[in-house]
Amino acid sequence: MDLALTILIDGAIYASWLFIVALGLTLIFGVLKILNIAHGSFYAIGAYAAASIVGLFAAEKFAPAFSLVALLLAAVAVAVIVGPLLERLLLRRFYGRDEVLLVLVTYALFLILEDVSKLIWGVNPYYVTEPYGLFGDVSLGSLFYVGYDLAIVAVALICGVGVWYGLNRTVLGKIVLAVIHNDEIAASMGINIGKVYLGAFTFGVFLAALGGAFTAPMISVQPGISVGVIIVSFAVVIIGGLGSIGGAAIGALIVGVARSTAVHIWPAAELFSIYLVMAAVLIFRPEGLFQRAVARRI
Amino acid sequence: MSRNLHSTLLYSAALVALLLAGLMLPQWLLFLLTMAASHGVVGLGLIVMMRGGVVSFGQGLVFAIGGYVAGLAATRYGVTDAVVLVLLGSAAAAIAGAIAGPLLARYRSIFFAMLTLALSMVLYGILVKSSAVGGSDGFNVPRPSLLGFSINETNSDYAFFALSSVIATVLTLLVTIYCRSSRGLLSLAIRDNELRVEYLGTSVRAAMAINFIIAAALGGAGGALTVISLGHIDPNFSYWTRSGEFVFMAILAGHASAPAVFLASLLLELVRSFSNKYFPDTWQLALGLFLLLIILFLPKGVGSLWAKPERLPRQAAEKAKQAAARNATEAAE
Amino acid sequence: MTQYVLEAENLGKTFGALVAAENVSLQVAAGQRVCLIGSNGAGKTTFVNMVTGYIKPSSGSIKLDGQEITGLGPRQIAQRGVCRSFQIPQLCLELTAAENILVALTVARRGALSFWRGAYDADLCDEAIALLERFGLAGHAERPVSELPGGVRKLLDIAMALCRDPRLILLDEPTSGVSVDEKFGMMDTVLRAMDGSDLTTLFVEHDMDIVSAYANRVVAFYSGRIIADGAPAEVLVDPEVKRYVTGNAK
């Protein structure tokens, strides 16, 4: 019983930051129709930026609680700087091109950002320790958890509900939904597609960086973290169905639980449990769990 | 047949020239060319798939299968001939392709890319944990013989160079013939409009599965060639960045011309080895910029610079002209 | 007893709550040229899609020359001799007009495609050019379809459907998107290309002048059902048809 609970809670913790990252990925896909490999790099840059800003705050002798503000600040900074720059200078040139070609564009971007972050932050690992102890330890029955890990679950819930509310209950959200559904018709109704693309991409970058910033205290921030994240978050959105928020949540939970099951029961399978689940889902639901079938007009 | 005969002669001449030139090249360049040829063979497979409209992001799967089977055949089962090893690696990968192909034939674009990626990463995960084949360290493969001749320290570079050049040339010729065949044209039609092809009365899925199996056989041959020349194999053969390099190569080459993939492969090897040596921290950056430039300015690949699209044979074109003239007079009446 | 080419019996199709076809029964004898009329959403294209295997009927059966074809896919149905053209032409845009026809002919004549035999086989090229000429399209043979105007694409789409020498051909709005004064010329071209033969033809059409000029039988659809079926002169004056179909058009 304890084992099952452990697996579930571990799975939920893993799923939570993954969901934040995947949410950005699925949003960018929904609006811009780009499956963004560089999303993993935004995650990594978010983590690095968090390390820098938390370090800066610590050097200025700010109270430890401010380190949480530092994490958020890092994500915002990355989004505001990286998002518009890339969208305006690069992605804009490729809109409407073949999906696979767009994947390659972002693959090129991923390669570039890998080295750029090495140039900025070097190759030695960073540890962001300050925020991790803020919430103490929490006991759930006989199990003990670091409070920070559980706080991440709350952050993920806030992100999910926030994005859902923003999309479905606000005018801006309706505009974005219209663009997701059919950007040509949206444009003909007077919506400024360019702005929506820019906004959605920047927000997607923000979510990736936020995921990176909030996981930074849980990991050692070093080159290579982007690769692992991108593959796993791809698995999440593919399992859930591209462009679906609910799908991203379910996909993250499935991946999280699959991984923690493997870790606790069959550690050797940790590495590929995620791919196995993704392959299994795709075999039975070729377009993911929550993808609507699109009828072709002939 | 005449176009194919023409290509056969041209490729043979190029091969002879290459083999002669090889006698004068330094060791490091021979090795680089060997790797470029071996990896280029995998890229050929991707080109076959791209003509049908799909790109596999998991070609490392068949690359690793070919490599591991060749390596195991050499170390465990005492197979010593290099050509036999390549055939074994290719056959094993083709069998894997025949199992996965019909399943994958339903998928397109991103889903095809992701599923192939997942399969290759599952294999990577298995290989890393399989201590029987050396886990994440892999294992060394002894130097094989070549058609009865033994290969030693002094002649090995040239022998492997010759082996990979000959095999790469033969396979390129076969792929060129395939691309010109009626099946090759069908692939292009499928990429354009598979609904119509299905309505013409032929199976799109079967065609896609066949392309996948051909690509697998080529990938396996490339893997086996690489292992033989490197003398070592490890799970990274199946890692996704490896598959990414193959995609990179295929995009760079474009699908207009099969030989172009070797140019792309050589370019990639050159960039890799030079930047590893001179600017190890920024070689991915250089690669990324390069890829972006290609996509921006040569979206159909370097092959499109010289390959002319297939058109009607001269006689048929003449008849088309006469028919057009008749149509024009009819319309005028 | 007459042997029908096509026998549809009690076909039904629902999409969720929407009834796209209900109790549709239709027998078509060899050589008939049947026109399906009805306002948008009446069920004409649904019927064509069911016969050609694009969608599977929820109920009922379809027979071709007395043989069951219900539930088969487009490929199997095409192989049995039912071919179609599309409202939006389904062509390979990057290939030339001649190549489009060549692909269709290769599939039709050489079912099992060759891995080494060249695609530009002399006999097939000749046949492709002859077919293009019959449609008045020989001048476009070497041009990529993406450069061709809409009317030419419609004709090419129909030409591709003819490559199999089908038993039954279904044309989904062959003249839609073509200007009024070109419509008759286009239908003439199509019928001449079919050699005025006994090829059994079903076509969907909205223009009643075309209907009365070219059909020898008219079937009117409304709300997923057949409301009239007979000679053009009778059906076009039928009060229900006037109310639900032609009345709307005026």
State the Cα–Cα distance between residues A231 and A216, nearest whole angstrom: 18
Q: List beta partners, residue B145.
A: B81
State the pLDDT at residue A80. Answer: 94
A296: confidence class by pLDDT, cuts 50, 70, 90:
low
C-alpha C15, offset from chain centre: 23
CA distance C77 to B199: 8
Candidates B198, B246, B295, B296, partner chain A, best to mutate (most A CBs within 10 A): B295
Same domain, C227 and C182: yes
Domain count, chain C: 2
Segment A167-173 mean pLDDT: 90
Q: Which of B41, B54, B100, B59 is nearest to B239 (CA)?
A: B59
- Indicate the pairing of strand C168-172 with strand C82-85: parallel
CB contact at 8 A, B280 and A223 = no
- From chain C, the residues in CB contact with A297 under 8 A are 88
Of B4, B179, B199, B326, which to mutate for an interface test with C (greatest number of C Cβ within 10 Å)? Answer: B199
Q: Does residue C178 share a domain with residue C73?
A: yes
Copy the structure tokens of residue B282.
Answer: 């920024």
Neighbouring CB atoms inside 10 A of C24's CB total: 24
Let me know whether C156 and C102 are in one domain: yes
More confident residue, A287 or C81: C81
CB–CB contact B324 C138 (8 Å): yes
- Average pLDDT for chain A: 87
Answer yes or no: do C158 and C97 share one domain.
yes
Average pLDDT along chain B = 89
Q: Which residues of C touch A298 (CB under 8 A)?
A: 49, 54, 86-88, 90, 172
Q: What is the pLDDT of residue B284?
A: 83
The domain of C201 spans 1-81+167-250
| A233 contacts A98 by C-beta, under 8 angstroms | no
Work out the pLDDT band at B228, boundaries 50, 70, 90: very high
Instruction: Kindly determine whether residue A297 and residue C90, on different chains, have CB atoms separated by under 8 Å.
Output: no
Domains of chain A: 2-284 (1.10.3470)
| Best CA proximity match to B264, nearest among B28, B13, B12, B37 | B37
Task: Specify which residues C217 forms β-bridges with.
Answer: C34
Answer yes or no: do C125 and B312 touch at CB < 8 A.
yes
Per-residue model confidence as pLDDT tens digits over A28-51: 988 888 889 899 999 999 999 999
pLDDT of residue C2: 65
For C97-109, how does the pLDDT look when each residue is reduced to its tens digit (9 = 90+)?
999 999 999 999 8
Residue pair A163/A245 in contact (Cβ under 8 Å)? The answer is yes
Residue B238: pLDDT band with limits 50, 70, 90: very high
CATH number for the domain that contains residue C207? 3.40.50.300
Task: Tell if the CB–CB gap between B327 and C111 is shorter than 8 Å.
Answer: no
Identify the pLDDT of residue A278.
82
Q: Taking CA B117 as the corner, what is the angle to CA B111 and CA B122, rounded to the nearest 5 degrees?
A: 125
Mean pLDDT along residues B264-289: 83
What pLDDT score does C204 carry? 92
Same domain for C63 and C126, yes or no, is no
Ranking A8-22, A78-92, B218-232, B318-332 by mean pLDDT, the lowest is: B318-332
Q: How many CB pairs under 8 A join B and C?
A: 149
Give residue B183's pLDDT band: very low, low, confident or very high (50, 70, 90): very high
Per-residue pLDDT at C196: 58
C181 shares its domain with C161: no
In angstroms, the CA B191 to CA B207 distance is: 11
Distance CA A109, CA A85 (A): 12
Rounded to an integer, the average pLDDT of B260-285 is 84
Looking at the fold, whether C171 and C206 belong to one and the same domain comes out as yes
ipTM of predicted assembly, 2 dp? 0.90
Backbone angles phi, psi at B163, to 5 degrees: -55, -50
B125 → closest Cβ in A234, A272, A296: A272
Q: State residue C250's pLDDT score.
A: 41
Question: Which is it for strands C67-68 and C18-29: parallel, antiparallel or unpaired?
Answer: unpaired
Residues C177, C230 within the same domain: yes
CB B240 within 8 A of CB B57: yes
Range with the poorest average pLDDT among A14-18, B241-245, B271-275: B271-275
Out of C84, C93, C137, the one facing B192 most closely (by C-beta) is: C93
Contacts of B279 (CB under 8 A, 6+ apart): B286
Angle at B230 between CA B154 and CA B49, to 5 degrees: 130
> Among the listed ranges A203-217, B185-199, C103-117, which one has the minimum average pLDDT value?
C103-117
Q: Is there a single domain that holds both residue C104 and residue C222?
A: no
| pLDDT of C249 above 50 | no
Question: How does C130-150 read in b/e, with b if 16+ C-beta sit within 10 Å?
Answer: ebbbbbbbbbbbbebbeebee
What is the pLDDT at residue B67?
96
Residues of A with CB under 8 A from a CB of B: 35, 90, 93-94, 98-101, 103-105, 107-112, 114-116, 118-119, 123, 227, 231, 234-235, 238, 242, 268-269, 271-272, 275-276, 278-279, 282-283, 286-287, 296, 298
Q: How sure is the predictor about B71, in pLDDT bands with cuts at 50, 70 and 90? A: very high
- What chains are in contact with C, requiring at least 3 Cβ pairs below 8 Å? A, B
Rounded mean pLDDT, B90-94: 96
Number of domains in chain B: 1
Could you tell me the CA-to-CA distances from B275 to A114, B272, B286 in Å, in that order?
Answer: 15, 5, 8
The pLDDT of residue A281 is: 85
Residue C182 and residue C208 in one domain? yes
Can you give the residue range of the structural domain that contains B33?
Answer: 2-332
Query: Is the pLDDT at C69 greater than 80, yes or no?
Result: yes
**What is the model's pLDDT at position C146?**
92
d(CA B19, CA B12): 11
Closest CA to B261 of B17, B99, B49, B104: B49
Least confident residue range of B274-278, C97-101, C190-194: B274-278
- Residues forming a β-bridge with B81: B145
Please tell me whether residues C125 and C235 are part of one structural domain.
no
Per DSSP, the three-state class of A127 is strand
Q: Which of B265, B269, B266, B212 is nearest to B59 (CA)?
A: B212
